[in-house]
Structure 1
Amino acid sequence: MDPTQDRDSPEAVIRRYSDMVYRLAFARTGNRSDAEDLYQEVFLRYLTRAPAFTSEEHRKAWLLRVAVNCANRFHTAPWRKRTEPLSEALSVPAPEGEDLWEELRRLPERDRTVLHLYYYEDMTTEEIAQMLGRNPATVRSQLLRARAKLKKLLVEEG
């Protein structure tokens, strides 16, 4: 079998990008079940549309863009306005980094998104701006404000 075909197989692509798509979906939604729904939607679109890519970076950008678009539609869905979030009643020991995630969840979605793309997906402010349809200077300002908000939350928590 040709190694390039295996590398571009749907299974290989999903394995390669599953963590990235899930992390972004989780950062945008703030809970696992919604993140899993968005994750499935992104890869369903990948499989059904079978887009052609010029490079691996193009494929990565396409998957991230679809994840952002799906999350945007998710937040504006009419059914979402008529639901109440479930409370997390069970208490489990927090894995390392869970405290930071809890503080991140307290930030507005816009702040969580730019922080996630910048720190977890290693994207530049220019790449984030292009993906979100914003000016790079706006993204840099959002990052600055988001960092300040996160720092304030972390200081308040002690």
Structure 2
Amino acid sequence: MRLTAEEAYRRFADNAFAAAFSICRDKTDADDAVHDTFIKYISKNMDYNDEEHIKAWLLRTAINRAKDFTRSFARKNSVPWEDYMDELEFAAPEDSELFEAVMKLPDKYRIVIHLFYYEEQSITEISKTLKRREGTVKSQLSRGRALLKEMLTEEWNND
């Protein structure tokens, strides 16, 4: 199975952007990672099992590209993710607080939390996407939740 580039972009670009942004925390780098991902999708004449396989491949590629950007020299001169908070729209004020807390997590927890809650991937799917053992994904998810709970509890107690 293969979707046209336009159809794949229409369906999965937002997911790829969100995953890339959760890694690099920079709008421009996330956009670049998504564009690079879809260029690779177009140039790679690969057949996929189904739409979920396409989505997983696009997410994994966007995540890898975003990681490349975080290691780059230009990354040291980028604008912090906090500067984009005014541009983002949230349904409720709590969503903004939760997003900020998630973005403050270490990378290994943040991407697992993102894939599980925002992309609604199962432990098995995350394991395949990130090429990590399921036990590792479970423990990172558990530790990420604990850190989030701790951060949010502190914030609520301070209010």
Instruction: Kindly name which structure, 1 or 2, has the bigger radius of gyration based on alpha carbons.
Output: 1
Most deviating of 92-101 and 48-57: 92-101
**8 A Cα contact 2:33 2:65, kept in partner:** yes
What's the CA shift for 1:94?
Answer: 6.6
| Gap runs ≥5 in structure 2 | none
Aligned to 2:26: 31
Query: Structure 1 length normalisation: TM-score?
Result: 0.84
Q: In structure 2, do the counterparts of structure 1 residues 69 and 84 end up closer, same or farther at CA, with 3 Å as the change threshold?
A: closer
Q: In structure 2, do the counterparts of structure 1 residues 147 and 46 end up closer, same or farther at CA, with 3 Å as the change threshold?
A: same
Query: Structure 2 length normalisation: TM-score?
Result: 0.83
Q: Distance in 2 between matches of 1:90 and 1:61?
A: 27
**8 A Cα contact 2:26 2:79, kept in partner:** no
| Gap runs ≥5 in structure 1 | none
* Identity over aligned pairs, percent: 36
In angstroms, what is the RMSD of aligned CA positions?
2.5
Comparing both chains, which one has the higher relative contact order based on Cα–Cα distances under 8 Å and sequence gaps of 6 or more? 2
Aligned to 1:134: 132
Corresponding position: 1:157 with 2:155: yes
What's the CA shift for 1:126?
Answer: 1.7
Corresponding position: 1:45 with 2:40: yes
What's the CA shift for 1:72?
Answer: 2.0
Aligned to 1:73: 68
* Correspondences of 1:84-99 after superposition (within 5 Å): 85-86=79-80, 88=83, 95=90, 96=92, 97-99=95-97
What's the CA shift for 1:142?
Answer: 0.5
Q: In structure 2, do the counterparts of structure 1 residues 22 and 89 end up closer, same or farther at CA, with 3 Å as the change threshold?
A: closer
Aligned to 1:12: 7
What's the CA shift for 1:89?
Answer: 9.4
**8 A Cα contact 2:27 2:84, kept in partner:** no
**Secondary structure in 1 matching 2:49:** coil
